[in-house]
Structure 1
Amino acid sequence: MLQQFQHYITTTFSFLKGKKIVLAVSGGIDSMVLMHLLMRSGYTFSVAHCNFQLRDQESDQDEEFVKMTCQEHYIPYFINRFETQKYADLHKKSIQIAARELRYNWFDELMHTNGYDFLLTAHHIDDSAETFLINFTRGTGLEGLMGIPQQNKNILRPLLPFSREEIERYAQENSVSWREDSSNASDKYFRNKIRHHILPILKELNPNFLNSFQQTLIHLQEAQCLVEEASSMVYEDVVEETNDEKRFDLNKLQKLPHKTTYLYQWLKPYGFTAWNDIFDLTEAQSGKQIFSEDYRLLKDRDFLILSKKTEPQNESYEIQEQLKQIDFPINLRLSDQSHIISHSKGTIFVDKLSLKFPLILRKWQEGDYFYPSGMQGKKKVSKYFKDEKFSLIDKEKTWLLCSENEIIWIVNHRADQRFLANEKTQHILKIEVL
């Protein structure tokens, strides 16, 4: 196994030599074998151990075992103790999800703080097969059927070609010590049920199951590459990107023979799970929206608009008379002028004597009205938004500049006729968006 490991790591991860490496070590057989292989292959690395404090003294004994092993071989090590149960209860997550989040958040912090280039974990082909079966059982797309990737950004898995049986045999032949996690024997966890009952049956039915599984993964990965290439080509025609949102043209999307497949491919990185609701959204009324943990997908006429989810905000900001420029919440410049050049969406000229300072910047509220420039009479801001085909997101991003309770300007859109300067105005104030 040593020669196979050395060949795999030098060909697949040839860039590792000379890099700063940290190895995740639980104390179990997989990570201890990987640690042994790396030492025998001449790699220099540090060790990171997580104590989740879920198994009382056993967790502390694992920590002590990893610590003593590192000291014996003069390997730098980091140990972190987590209040995993408390974190899981606070965030309403399962123990497995909580432990995973705590582990990888700490790994990210550790690597960033100490300048590590890569994190190595000891996942192997049996782990990958278990992940495949878990995702398959729960329902997933093509990507969920590709097992565990050999590389995910700066996380590498150099034991992925090897089976649990090969790892156990190596440990026995090379007198590698390890700690047995008692929770691995329990069927309390879904993964353990797959490990103890489903995988053994598949291996019994096909003694060459893991090799067949690896070949299947290769075919699935090739198919995924084709999907991503096709998706990328169509994306450029259907989706318009701005700094803070993506607009999916439904007229173009509806003409595609596999529109739901494309939508799934484009939206899956944003944490959405209610796929039937998303597919129904293409036919829904304007204003309907679906949320993931961090994003919102809004139906707006002929578009689906993807944007970061934001909390409703009712704050307002004062602009004192002596201020010449503000940078938050938007960039505005105010300057005295001797004459009017020309009004535009982004620049207005107002009668300074008609203003009551401090001016107020705020979001629109139900019942707001103004007197649009170039029109007779007043108009509700909500009606103006509707006539101008503002999306819900557009409304939320729009600021109103006010003098006391009266609107001076729907910023970057339309001024109020009552405050605009004219040829008789003695004190002209220019207000512009930068």
Structure 2
Amino acid sequence: MLKKIQNHLNKNFSDLEDKRLLLAVSGGIDSMVLLNLCKKLSFEIAVAHCNFQLRGKESDADENFVIEKATELQIPFFIQKFDTEEFANENKLSIQLAARKLRYDWFNKVLENENYDFLLTAHHLDDQIETFLINLARGTGLDGLIGIPAQNNTIIRPMLTISREEIENYAKENKILWREDASNASDKYVRNKIRHRVVPILKELNPSFLNSFQDTLEHLEEANTLVEDASKWVFEKVVTTKEDIIQIDCKLLLTYTNYKSYLYQWLKRYGFTAWNDIYELIQAQSGKQIFSNTHLLLKDRNFLILSPKIISAEEVFFIDKNTKSLKFPLNVALCQTDDILEPTNNVIFVDQEKLVFPLQLRKRKEGDYFYPSGMEGKKKLSKYFKDEKYSLLDKEKQWLLTSNDKIVWIIGKRADKQFLANTKTKNILKIELK
């Protein structure tokens, strides 16, 4: 098995010999075999162990076992205790999800703080099968069936081509000690049910099931590559991007038979789950919106517009007389000046004596009007938006600077001439959108 791992690493991760590697070691058979293999391959390694404090003395015994082994091998080690149950309750997560988040957040911190290049985990072929079946049972797309990636940024899983049986045989042949987690024998968790009840039947039906499964994974990965290539090609045809805004041309998208698949490929990373609603949005009336935790998808005329979720229209931010800068929701700087330079979209010069503090930074509301610089008379904000061809999303995103609820500046666009400084102004205030 050592040769098999070595060939796999030489083929797919040939530069690991020169890297500093952090090994996730629980004390179980999989991670102890990984530790043994990496030691024999003479990699520069350290051990990282998480004590989730879920099994009382058993958890502490796992921790002590890992420390003793790392000390014996003269390998640096990092240990972290977590109050997993408290974290799960506070964040309304299952114990499994809480433990996953805690360990990977900590692993990434160790990688960064201690200057390690990669984290190696002991996921193996049977883990791949179990993940595949879990995702299949719950319902998933092609990417869910592909399972656990061999590499995900700084995380490398070098044992994905090795079966649990091979690991057990190697451990016995090399007299490797490990700690047995009693929870692995319980069918309380879905993964254990699949491991104990489903996979044995599949292996019984097909003695070559592991090899067949590996072939199937390879075919799925190749198919996924085709999907990604097609998705990128169509994206370039029907989508325009500007900063953090994505605009999808619905008419062009509908010329492609598999338009739903393309939408899924483009939007899945933004946390959307109501896919039927998203597909119906293509032909919905203008103004309909769908939200994920982080983003908004808006139907605006013939377009779907994706943007980060917008701050509530009711939220107001205040700027008092001594404020020099504001970082959120916009980066705005204020300073006294003696000179009035040529104003731009991002800079205005106002008469401070005409302002009533605190100033307000807010969104539009019914009845807003202002006296646009360079124009005669006053104008309703709604009419200004219409004349400037603002989309629904543009209107929602536009911030206003107001004094005593009167518009001083449509930020980044047009100032109210009533507040602008002139040659007679004594106290000139420069306001700049950074």
The 3-state SS of whatever aligns with 1:367 is: coil
The 3-state SS of whatever aligns with 1:265 is: helix
The 3-state SS of whatever aligns with 2:390 is: coil
- Structure 2: gaps (5+ residues): none
Corresponding residue of 2:137? 137
Q: CA separation in 1, counterparts of 2:114 and 2:294?
A: 29
TM-score by structure 2 length? 0.89
Q: CA separation in 1, counterparts of 2:331 and 2:392?
A: 19
Count residues with an aligned counterpart: 425
Q: CA separation in 2, counterparts of 1:6 and 1:354?
A: 75
Q: 1:148-167, aligned counterparts within 5 Å? A: 148-167=148-167
Q: CA separation in 2, counterparts of 1:135 and 1:431?
A: 53
Is 1:214 matched with 2:214? Answer: yes
Q: CA separation in 2, counterparts of 1:301 and 1:16?
A: 52
Corresponding residue of 1:128? 128
Q: CA separation in 2, counterparts of 1:54 and 1:62?
A: 12
Shift of 1:255: 2.1
Shift of 1:2: 1.7
Evaluate the alpha carbon distance shift between residue 268 and residue 417 of structure 1 in structure 2; reply closer, same or farther with a 3 A threshold: same
Aligned-pair identity in percent equals 52
Corresponding residue of 2:53? 53
TM-score by structure 1 length? 0.89
The 3-state SS of whatever aligns with 1:290 is: strand
Give the conservation status (yes or no) of the 8 Å contact 1:370–1:416: no
Shift of 1:389: 4.6
Letter in 2 for 1:170: Y
Shift of 1:368: 4.2
The 3-state SS of whatever aligns with 2:175 is: coil
Q: 1:161-180, aligned counterparts within 5 Å? A: 161-180=161-180
Corresponding residue of 1:412? 412
Listed one character per residue, the Cα deviations across residues 11-43 of structure 1 (whole Å, up to 9, x for unaligned) are 221110021001001111111111111112222
Worse-superposed segment, 33-42 or 403-412: 403-412
Evaluate the alpha carbon distance shift between residue 407 and residue 65 of structure 1 in structure 2; reply closer, same or farther with a 3 A threshold: same
Evaluate the alpha carbon distance shift between residue 165 and residue 385 of structure 1 in structure 2; reply closer, same or farther with a 3 A threshold: same
Q: 1:348-363, aligned counterparts within 5 Å? A: 352=351, 355-358=354-357, 360-363=359-362
Evaluate the alpha carbon distance shift between residue 357 and residue 34 of structure 1 in structure 2; reply closer, same or farther with a 3 A threshold: same
Q: CA separation in 2, counterparts of 1:370 and 1:411?
A: 14
Corresponding residue of 2:368? 369
Give the conservation status (yes or no) of the 8 Å contact 1:126–1:164: yes
Q: 1:243-322, aligned counterparts within 5 Å? A: 243-312=243-312, 313-318=315-320
Q: CA separation in 1, counterparts of 2:85 and 2:94?
A: 9
Give the conservation status (yes or no) of the 8 Å contact 1:47–1:76: yes
Corresponding residue of 2:191? 191
Shift of 1:262: 0.6
Give the conservation status (yes or no) of the 8 Å contact 1:359–1:402: no
Give the conservation status (yes or no) of the 8 Å contact 1:295–1:306: yes
- Structure 1: gaps (5+ residues): none
Shift of 1:187: 0.8
Q: CA separation in 2, counterparts of 1:414 and 1:118?
A: 51
Q: CA separation in 1, counterparts of 2:270 and 2:3?
A: 41
The 3-state SS of whatever aligns with 2:74 is: coil
Shift of 1:241: 1.8
